Copies of this chain bind each other. A is one copy, B any other.
Amino acid sequence: MAARIIDGKTIAEQINAETRAESQRLKARGITPGLAVVLVGEDPASKVYVANKEKMAADLGFHSALKRLPADTGEGDLLALIDDLNFDRKIHGILVQSPLPKHLREDEIWDDIDPTKDVDGFHPLNLGRLAAGQRAPVACTPAGIIEMLVRSGAMPSGKHAVIVGRSIRVGRPLQLLLSQKGRAGDATVTVCHSRTPDIGAHTRQADILIAAIGQPRFIKADMVKPGAVVIDVGINAVPDATRKSGTRLVGDVDFDAVKEVASAISPVPGGVGPMTIAMLMHNTIAACRARESA
């Protein structure tokens, strides 16, 4: 029996509807949530992501400001722009699109963003508040994964969650979220990574399996426990001669085979991707509410 599909697009639409209602409520009080997106350089994928974020922000009634900088922008100039945005009262959330050109140090940039405007949740103060179980903006992809689990009825509490991947953007915040106290946490959490000798020995024990290792179709059917819930965070371009672009996107999970073993699975595309943007907007409106005491 094939797995139930955890439809990230539909869940993201639910969250966006909540954000839109909240945005309208704030508008009625004269408050407009403001999101600034900073794009450095001309990376084609980044341009698409930024355009999607702009469109979504407009759709939700946000004020949005796109700041484009040339690829050779110096760190000082980028930090000066961030400082301006930190003090800009119309801006409640600041997102600096990754990846940045190599000469810019992402750690330095993130450190400079006002933590209360850090809607990406990458500022170390916010990561630390998460580790300490305090309220703070949470990185959008891990926050989106928790929403997917909770809203699709796969509550983490009491489950064994196995995360494959230990990135700062996904694996590490997610391990903190899933193991924290409370309704949407309380899972026993295992983190595997490139230095784990036998990843399958761990993934086969997972009630909830999260693949965030960045390798196309890495998780095979024999690495999944029958009945597991599988969330696929990967977005990998693989060759596909039948497409005009010559490539198509696949996840870190061998979807067609794993869906015959799992009880529920998120697809790529249409899984975690739309959730990430929805959580960015959710974080922006939360930052706006906190700033305006509304």
Query: How far, in whole Å, are A134 and B106 apart by their CA atoms in the complex?
Result: 12
Q: Are A195 and B127 in contact (CB under 8 A)?
A: no
Per-residue CB contact flags for chain A residues 179-205 toward chain B (1 = under 8 Å, else 0) read 111000011111111011100001000
Q: Are B191 and A188 in contact (CB under 8 A)?
A: yes
B-chain residues with CB within 8 Å of residue A129 when the two chains form the complex: 124, 128
Per-residue CB contact flags for chain A residues 80-96 toward chain B (1 = under 8 Å, else 0) read 00000000000000000
Query: How far, in whole Å, are A57 and B49 apart by their CA atoms in the complex?
Result: 54
A3 interface residue, CB < 8 Å from B?
Answer: no
A175 interface residue, CB < 8 Å from B?
Answer: yes
A74 interface residue, CB < 8 Å from B?
Answer: no
B-chain residues with CB within 8 Å of residue A195 when the two chains form the complex: 157-158, 186-188
A172 interface residue, CB < 8 Å from B?
Answer: yes
Q: Are B188 and A189 in contact (CB under 8 A)?
A: no
Query: How far, in whole Å, are A189 and B191 apart by their CA atoms in the complex?
Result: 5
Q: A175-B175, A179-B191, A195-B157 are in contact. Are A168 and B133 (CB under 8 A)?
A: yes
A132 interface residue, CB < 8 Å from B?
Answer: yes
A126 interface residue, CB < 8 Å from B?
Answer: yes
Query: How far, in whole Å, are A130 and B134 apart by their CA atoms in the complex?
Result: 16
Residue of B nearest to A131 (CB): B127
Query: How far, in whole Å, are A128 and B196 apart by their CA atoms in the complex?
Result: 24
Residue of B nearest to A187 (CB): B195
A59 interface residue, CB < 8 Å from B?
Answer: no
B-chain residues with CB within 8 Å of residue A175 when the two chains form the complex: 175, 179, 189, 191
| CB contact between A125 and one of B128, B130, B133, B202 (< 8 Å): that residue | B128
CB distance from A191 to the nearest CB of B (A): 5
| CB contact between A134 and one of B124, B133, B192 (< 8 Å): that residue | B124
A77 interface residue, CB < 8 Å from B?
Answer: no
A109 interface residue, CB < 8 Å from B?
Answer: no
A173 interface residue, CB < 8 Å from B?
Answer: yes
Query: How far, in whole Å, are A136 and B160 apart by their CA atoms in the complex?
Result: 31
- A-B pairs with the 3 shortest C-beta distances? A128-B128, A124-B128, A127-B128
